[in-house]
Amino acid sequence: MPVTRAEKNVTITHGSSSATIYFFGATLTSWIVDGREMIFVSSKALLDGSKAVRGGIPLVFPHFGTVETSRLPQHGFARNSVWELGPVTETAEETTVALSLTPGQVPFALATLWPKKFQATYSVTLNGRDGKLRTSLQVTNTDSEPWEFTALLHTYFATPDVRTTGVQGLTGFPFTDKVAGGLRVEAETRDRVTIAGEVDRIYHGVKSEEVVIDAEGKNLVSIRTNLPDIVVWNIWTKAKDMADMGDEDYKHYICVEAGSVSKFITLKPQESWEGHQILASL
């Protein structure tokens, strides 16, 4: 499968399927299967490294949201750092590109707010036979002290119309409703979570075989993951207050974000952690 390195990104291509990953943030900005773009990027997204990309799959590390005990900005620094392209590996069916991040690559002002030693590797695998995409984040503590973190794959999926979009596979799981001020709800009762206003929820301990997104009566994409939590987010009409989102852009995306965010994970020196998702177009 051809791998094309450009100044700011790298693209894996196979027939009519492809994946493009920017070095800035290691943010995947495009995943095309049989000519269909599966990933949303805002019409006003900045791709020049001045701000995290509004769309694609930004990486959230070393913490999700804002944390009282940390001065780091929301969602940490991984999405604001320039990652280094590492090895490309190929098998008969799949091509993987790996990108890496160490503290020296993190903008100084952010690195000093979380002065821990770590090695992060992000691997993106495109399967040329079925177009499946696997994105995997591996983190190792290279410090002499333990540290704790949360992480998330903040995927913006493209949808023809979010008002017809549903998320299946979350039934029965507890969630925190951030729009309702952090209200904790014991169980999702719906078979299909729909969007009819601003939605910002963390579903905890999701053990679905797969989570499926549908729109206009058709299944679009499935997500399989080893990560315990699923965040569902759409900004709705507050998009007009966001500098890097077009007023109507909210209609064309749904964020379904696999992560480990409900509680901090502690890594001892030399310990590693890995979280991934496998996305299949349907």
- List the catalytic residues: 154, 257
Examine residue 200 and tell whether it contacts ligand BG6 (CB under 6 A): yes
Judged by beta carbon, residue 249 or residue 257, the one nearer ligand BG6 is 257
By CB under 6 A, residue 154 contacts ligand BG6 = yes
The nearest distance, CB 154 to ligand BG6, in angstroms, is: 6
* Identity of the residue, 17 or 250, whose beta carbon is nearer to ligand BG6 in the bound complex: 250
Size, binding site for ligand BG6 by CB under 6 A: 8
Closest CA to 136 of 227, 75, 39: 227
**Would you say 16 or 70 has its CB closer to ligand BG6?**
70
Cβ-based nearer residue to ligand BG6, 95 or 150: 150
Shortest distance, CB of residue 130 to ligand BG6, whole angstroms? 28
By beta-carbon proximity to ligand BG6, the closer residue of 32 and 59 is 59
| Contact call for residue 44 and ligand BG6 (CB under 6 A) | no
As a whole number of angstroms, the distance between CA 239 and CA 171 comes to: 28
Chain residues 110-149 in contact with ligand BG6, contact rule CB under 6 A:
none
Q: Among 163, 178, 204, 224, which residue sits at the site for ligand BG6 (rule: CB under 6 A)?
A: 178
**Least distance from ligand BG6 to the Cβ atom of residue 208, Å:** 19
Closest separation in Å from C-beta 106 to ligand BG6:
17
3-state secondary structure 38-86: CECECCCCCCCCCCCCCECECEEECCCCCCCCCCCCCCECHHHCECEEE
Chosen residue from 230, 231, 239, 278 binding ligand BG6 by CB under 6 A:
231
CB 3 within 8 A of CB 85: no
Asked if 231 contacts 261 with a C-beta cutoff of 8 angstroms, the reply is yes
- From the list 233, 239, 249, 276, which residue makes contact with ligand BG6 (rule: CB under 6 A)? 233
Q: Shortest CA distance to 249 belongs to which of 236, 259, 261?
A: 236
Two tokens, residue 122: 């992000």
| Nearest-angstrom CA–CA distance, 74 and 61 | 10
Residues 6+ apart with CB under 8 A from 119: 100, 101, 102, 139, 140, 142
Residues 60-79 that bind ligand BG6 (CB under 6 A): 74-75
Phi, psi of 212 (to 5 degrees): -120, 135
C-alpha distances (whole Å) from 266 to each of 139, 140, 148, 202 are 11, 11, 4, 21
Chain residues binding ligand BG6 by CB under 6 A are: 74-75, 154, 178, 200, 231, 233, 257
